[in-house]
Structure 1
Amino acid sequence: MRILSRFLSLFVVLVGATNAMADAPVVVPPDASVAGVSQADWSQRWWEWAGSFDREESPVADRTGALCGSGQSGDVWFLAGTYGTQRTVRTCRVPRGKYLFFPLINYVVVRRPDRATSCEAVASSAASITEGVSALVLEIDGVRHGDLHRHRLATRGCFDIGARTPERIRVYPAAANGYYVMLQPLPPGRHTLNFGGALPSMLQAVTYSLVVE
């Protein structure tokens, strides 16, 4: 409880004095497809992207944003969450016209290499771990956005999280669950994005200074 209180206090700092809530046309409804792909499937693609790096070269482990362009292609630009609970502040240059997709908080479960594991088992575990969310935060350029519980997504079936690794290491079955947001392309210029969430077993707080070019 003490950790959660500090986390929520942190977000008061992140969002500042504004209490504005926005319906925000910039936020894509979670049931809407982007580039012909459902957001549930984008969540799988996000994990395949995140799983394609060695940890020391991963945008998820990156503390500055220097790696935010790694492995990016197509209409949707992925933003990384974090490892651990320490607040992370990054600067990221994004090409104009890109949708942005990122997790407020999420989790993936993969099979253990020393035992057989079913797809149903890892999917059930991912769903269980992401139950009981107590905070979800999304703030774009000083405006706080609500109604975030409806952005919970689960990967459909199971997938191979090693599909995009250079060595094509097969890590199957994997299943993910969590809260994700898709943003419409932001206008050129500088933008500040704060996001995160709190689950019983994990916390996340991320700030991006985005430069859309």
Structure 2
Amino acid sequence: MTENAGAPSAELQGRWWTWAAAEPETTNPVADTDGSACGRNQPDDVWFLAGTFGDQVERACQVPHGRPIVVPVVNLVGDQESCAAFMRDAEGTVLLDGKAVEPERYEGDSITMRGAQGNPITAEEGLFTATGCGLWVQLPSLSPGTHALEVRGRSDDFSTGVDYALTVSASSR
């Protein structure tokens, strides 16, 4: 992924779901209630942020300068049929420092993801192929300092919300 160009949606979703499935629930970034798991297993070229399993949380997160940020507004991994149903009602909003950011719609991509034993996404260890879908935001690297990121998403009776207090370091390492 480059600074000014987003990754193809299947690659981005596969990488994010692998990141989300790399930890057991106690240290999983999606189950995180305060941001303490924000930096776990981050790749070198992008910074992933997580939604929730259906609740509303506030998280504080340190982000290295120079990394684009990727966050799902609302997302699902399943099969083509479940993604089609999920996307019919999917909606969401994202505000970065009070300014609206338009999410991208990923209707349903075949993705490959890897799960760790005991994770809350796949529960099992191994390589999985599934369909990924959702509303996603890819942000360029943010300027050093503090930023507020508000993410709200829903589909049918599932809703998620995260208020991120992001602190971007002045150097990339």
TM-based fold match above 0.5: yes
Q: Which has the larger radius of gyration?
A: 1
Deviations 1:41-94 (A, max 9, x none): 11111011101111111011110001100000221100011012x311000000
Please identify which structure carries the higher strand content: 2
Q: What TM-score do the two structures reach when normalised by structure 2?
A: 0.84
**1:201-212 to 2 correspondences below 5 Å:** 201-212=157-168
Contact preservation (8 Å) 1:44, 1:155 = no
Q: Distance in 2 between matches of 1:174 and 1:65?
A: 28
Gapped regions of structure 2 (runs ≥ 5): 119-123
Q: Does structure 1 residue 156 correspond to structure 2 residue 113?
A: no
Please identify which structure carries the higher helix content: 1
In structure 1, the residue corresponding to 2:82 is in which secondary structure? helix
Q: What TM-score do the two structures reach when normalised by structure 1?
A: 0.69
Shift of 1:124: 2.5
Contact preservation (8 Å) 2:87, 2:133 = yes
**Residues 157 and 64 (structure 1 numbering): CA distance in 2 closer, same or farther, change over 3 Å?**
same
1:44 to 14, 23, 35: 14
Q: Distance in 2 between matches of 1:83 and 1:105?
A: 10
**1:64-143 to 2 correspondences below 5 Å:** 64-84=34-54, 86-109=55-78, 122-133=79-90, 135-143=91-99
Shift of 1:131: 1.8
Gapped regions of structure 1 (runs ≥ 5): 1-27, 110-121
Q: How many residues align?
A: 162
Q: CA RMSD in A?
A: 2.2
**Amino-acid identity (%):** 31
For 1:152, the aligned partner's letter is R
Deviations 1:9-67 (A, max 9, x none): xxxxxxxxxxxxxxxxxxx9xxx844xx3233111110111011111110111100011
Contact preservation (8 Å) 1:40, 1:154 = no
Contact preservation (8 Å) 1:33, 1:39 = no
Task: Name 2:154's counterpart in structure 1.
Answer: 198
Contact preservation (8 Å) 2:74, 2:160 = yes
